[in-house]
Structure 1
Amino acid sequence: MAPSIAELSSSSSTPVKEVPVSTTSELAEEQPSKTSTISTWQAIASRRQQEIFSSIPSEWILPADLLKSKRPLDLVKTCGLLNEREVKIVYSTAVDLLEKMRTREYTAVEVTTAFCKASAVAHQATNCLAWTMYPSALSHAAKLDAHMTQTGSPIGPLHGLPISVKEHIYLIDTPSTSGFVGWADNFCTSLSQEGMCINVLRSSGAVFHVKTTNPQGLMALETRSNLYSTTTNPLNTFLSPGGSSGGESALVAMHGSILGIGTDIGGSIRSPALSCGIYGLKPSVARLPHSGLSGAHDGMESVIGVVGPIATCLADVELFCKTLLDAQPWRGEVGLLPIPWGCREGVAAEKEENRKLKIGIIYTDGVHTPHPPITRVLHTTESTLKEAGHEIIPFPTHLHAPLISTVDAMYLLDGGAEYLSHLSLTSEPPTSLLQWLLEKKTTKHRTVSEQWKLHKERNRIQDAYAKLMLETGVDCIIAPGGVTVANAHEEAKYWGYTSVFNGLDLPVACLPAGEVEEGDVWDGNEGGKTDMEALWGPGKEGAQKYEGGSVGLQIVGRRLEEEKLLKMVRIIEKDLGLSGSS
């Protein structure tokens, strides 16, 4: 039997409630386990999924008929579990909530309770949670309220703010499995394992209430694993929420978290944010803290991942970055550059609103043409920004294809041997997308000299791209976020639109700018020439298949100029007449 809400504040131990195990199609054929004395991989996965479900209080379990919609985006608001005040809380921005907690209009406990409830709803609709920390979250929130009562002031800039954490980020007393069944018992047992990001956010007053799903091995723009099963998109559950931070995007889009921590090495913040119609930021390497992560190829520096925020508005993205960098994390994480937040804004606040930009725009990378709704939104964006007085020029993409190939080759320099080793711990099979990655032509063991050649080519293209931005004089670049809007499950077999900017180490912000429309069809002879283009289908097939999908844009800035980038995104957002930057 699941615990009641009253029991949450006193115990984190919960019995297991029997629920059906959600398994993906590739799990049907059972394989013998190399750890059969402990359990089969199926039993381990079943136990973990049951643990998550049974940690949800019984009064938060929704009737089955409420979970039938293929678009559960507003379920938190309509299901009746949250009262009117709680709905108002979870639909607030982080900036507004912090002010209301500072003035004691809200307590940390009631804010945390509201987001715990909302996260439970989101999980039942999309399978987005990897672990819950409801008892410890409510206990910590109560301590924050006591501090406020005793001192009259908040403990820090994020006092009482619930924040969700991607599963593979170390957080005390929670698992960090990277989606491997064999790592199911890899719990963070010491605060020393936690990274600088978690340390700063906690000391700033954040309340960690849940961890969110990521795919098997992390390297996928989808969120599916044998351990956690499949996470779905709240805009259309037949679509993926992106990956590898797809649990975060599904949760944040449904207002089960106000601010999520994601990671990105090939698009893993941007793909989820773009897929779910919300905001995200991939910073440059060494700008934001990146320690305290579990994962395969730890120590690989050919392509370096980053930590960044996923949120429902631009102001909350800025809040995340400012909070981390105001703490001067480079004093404790030596790989970071000592660049305080705000020193690279480049635009005076009083001049920001009316500044006119020179923007490069990309319609295709020359490998795959994006699907019709993306092209339509790009055309609308270009014409609207021109009318607002901005200069828009086509940005050359001749460097994209060679860099995409180089980055692909640098991901699995051991030919995937480490992934296979982790899978063998329980004899779990690879998911279809991990199998695709392992079988790619670029996935092979590289000698040291071969790695050097790849690094040399990457560096050459980075310099050439920087020169190109300088020569064209662009302030930023607007680019598609992918070939598709949100992918249907198991479709995400091209990363080029996002991974190219990991290879370039440029900061990228996500801006939701539209959605799929019924009239979105290929224009004349366009489209269908490649396997990824053909996913849209002829006539109205694509609009029906991707119904409800969000169309987002990548806004690309210059390296290590995240503040300047976000200011330009705010200008673009305003001139496009989009909401969300409050």
Structure 2
Amino acid sequence: MGSAHPTWMEVASERKRKIEEKIPSEWRVDKTQLQGKCLVDLPRASGLLTDKELLITELSAVQILAAMREQILTATETTIAFCKRAAISHQATNCLAEILFDDALQQAAQLDDYMAKYGKPIGMLHGLPISVKEHIKIKGTTATSGLIAWANNVSNEDALIVKIFREQGAIFYVKTTNPQTLMAIETDSNLFGRTTNPHNKSLTSGGSTGGEGALLAMNGSPLGIGTDIGGSIRVPSAFCGTYGFKPTIGRLPHSGLTGLHDGMQNLVGVVGPLARSIEDLELFCVAALKHEPWKYEPSLIEMPWRPETRAPQKLKIGVIWSDRVVQPHPPIVRALKQVVSTLTGAGHTVIDWDASLHRELYDVTNKVYFLDGGAEYHEKLDQGKEPAVPIIKWLLDEKATKHYTVEETWKVNGQLDRLRTSYAHQWNTLDIDAILCPANASVASVHDESRYWGYTCVFNALDYPAAVFPVGSVEKTDSWKSFPPISSSPLNPLDMWYRSLYLDIEGPTRYEGAPISLQLVGRRFHDEKMLRVLSYLHERVDKSQ
């Protein structure tokens, strides 16, 4: 670097150089192959992976572990395959924040030695490569939350979830990008740059776990560790066409992260999985709770995973067609209609869910996020002498405008508690098994246009477990004429703006190739039931397509 006090641009340039230099020359993609709009199949098209490496990297985590137990696969060959595919994925999408290939291969060799000596795995995650969101601590790596001020924040210990998984034989080989300050449903920062969507690089991968979303979509990881305080697991999963799960607060280990508003209590983030199958979502939860983490993280509930939970034979599902704040775009309406048709055709009960509480829930949730008026955000940006990237500048200008007093904070907390009670009453009255709804008003947004997270953040505020799942992709016939909004007139300026982003002629072209995903929501602490319902639902949808 050029001076004793490097500029933010020099810090960012050095960080990107360090990532690039850890990609072996023989794993570098011909630059002409990076020029297309859709790069999701680049790992296969590049010719850099062997047939066996392609096979390994297209297995689910559950399948990899089964092959490892049978000694069909070794930890070393599996790790090499995913390191290569992650390197290719990064060149396509800029999804990696730190590369740990050497450490991973060393750990894999030790696991293979253990298997050879004892003839059994060291734990239930033996030899499974797992990717990790950047702000989750791994000893010896940085955890920056995408901030220049924290660029040299080296962790001296593992986060509890990392420690638990490492003890069960997981291999950590990459950390993935998150946005500046974490507080965005896109992934862009001065430190790491912008992460793009492999299905269409003019679209965002989502955020804040956007690096994981892009990497999983390219099969560059079998399982990822993310976090979610407003949709940060679910939005990237939805935008990239993978699976993501936000558990109930207090179920899974959450200690050992860096981030702003540390100590906030009335709305707490959670750790959860991004995966390529529903089975793998549950694998993550089982492994996370296997060694009773509540003994080490006092805020956790002493509640083991309950695998015996089953979905009812006849389901009653509430459907949110629109939250009456921002109306979903035509592809999402089509997907909802398709899933509802599948459910009713199988004899299940589907009712319209009244989302009239969502406007107030969305507003109060945004207040809780920024009780200090964004002061800590501005402080850290100033400390790093860096500008806010466009999506964060918009956020701070539009959402973080009022500093609440202690008395005002009490009133906000009371308002949120009353809304939680009202929502629980509505659920009790209708006695549904789950809510089916959009994961976002849009499929993956064009960069810097992701300005509404109401379909996900309300369920953080309510503390309901929620998961997203893919249901096809945008089609040329997805028009407002074919799938009109609930209200013919815009509901508010934000709804008008979102509607303008999807013009009948341009919409399908603008969002070409984008996956469509929906969200399933369960009651608080009914995480297992929600995943069972999701598994049943997704199986039926797959058969109907």
TM-score by length of 1: 0.90
Shift of 1:95: 0.7
Instruction: Give the corresponding residue for 1:323.
Output: 287
Is residue 2:518 matched to residue 1:553?
yes
Is residue 2:401 matched to residue 1:443?
yes
1:131 to 78, 82, 98: 98
2:391 to 425, 433, 457: 433
In 2, Cα distance between equivalents of 1:579 and 1:223: 34
CA contact (8 A) 1:41 1:181 kept: yes
Instruction: Give the corresponding residue for 1:11.
Output: none
Q: How does 1:215-234 map to 2 (within 5 A)?
A: 215-234=179-198
Is residue 2:524 matched to residue 1:566?
no
Instruction: Give the corresponding residue for 2:109.
Output: 142
In 1, Cα distance between equivalents of 2:258 and 2:500: 34
Q: How does 1:279-298 map to 2 (within 5 A)?
A: 279-298=243-262
1:403-441 deviation per Cα after TM superposition (whole angstroms, max 9, x unaligned): 110000110111111111111123100011111111125
Secondary structure of 2:523's aligned partner? coil
Is residue 2:382 matched to residue 1:418?
no
Instruction: Give the corresponding residue for 1:500.
Output: 458
In 2, Cα distance between equivalents of 1:579 and 1:219: 37
In 1, Cα distance between equivalents of 2:489 and 2:31: 39
Segments of 5+ residues of structure 2 without an aligned counterpart are none
AA of the residue aligned to 1:185: N
Instruction: Give the corresponding residue for 2:177.
Output: 213
AA of the residue aligned to 1:319: L
Q: In angstroms, what is the RMSD of aligned CA positions? A: 1.7
Is residue 2:338 matched to residue 1:374?
no
Instruction: Give the corresponding residue for 2:151.
Output: 184
In 2, Cα distance between equivalents of 1:111 and 1:365: 44
Q: How does 1:466-481 map to 2 (within 5 A)?
A: 466-481=424-439
Q: How does 1:185-204 map to 2 (within 5 A)?
A: 185-188=152-155, 190-191=156-157, 194-204=158-168
Aligned residues: 538
1:404 to 354, 362, 365: 362
Is residue 2:331 matched to residue 1:390?
no
Shift of 1:442: 5.4
Shift of 1:101: 1.0
Secondary structure of 2:204's aligned partner? coil
1:307-339 deviation per Cα after TM superposition (whole angstroms, max 9, x unaligned): 000001000000000011121110111010000
CA contact (8 A) 2:229 2:268 kept: yes
Instruction: Give the corresponding residue for 1:49.
Output: 16
Q: 93-102 vs 432-441, which deviates more? A: 432-441
In 1, Cα distance between equivalents of 2:292 and 2:440: 34
Instruction: Give the corresponding residue for 2:127.
Output: 160
Identity of aligned residues (%): 47
Shift of 1:233: 0.4
CA contact (8 A) 1:178 1:215 kept: yes
In 2, Cα distance between equivalents of 1:240 and 1:321: 28
Segments of 5+ residues of structure 1 without an aligned counterpart are 1-15, 17-34
Instruction: Give the corresponding residue for 1:29.
Output: none
Secondary structure of 1:392's aligned partner? strand
CA contact (8 A) 2:366 2:399 kept: no
Instruction: Give the corresponding residue for 2:266.
Output: 302
AA of the residue aligned to 1:263: T
After TM superposition, the runs of 4+ consecutive aligned structure 1 residues lying more than 6 A away are none
In 2, Cα distance between equivalents of 1:538 and 1:76: 33
Shift of 1:540: 2.1
TM-score by length of 2: 0.96
Shift of 1:36: 6.7
In 2, Cα distance between equivalents of 1:496 and 1:535: 18
Shift of 1:301: 1.6
AA of the residue aligned to 2:129: P
In 2, Cα distance between equivalents of 1:312 and 1:367: 31
1:416-470 deviation per Cα after TM superposition (whole angstroms, max 9, x unaligned): 1111111112310001111111112553211111111111111111111111111
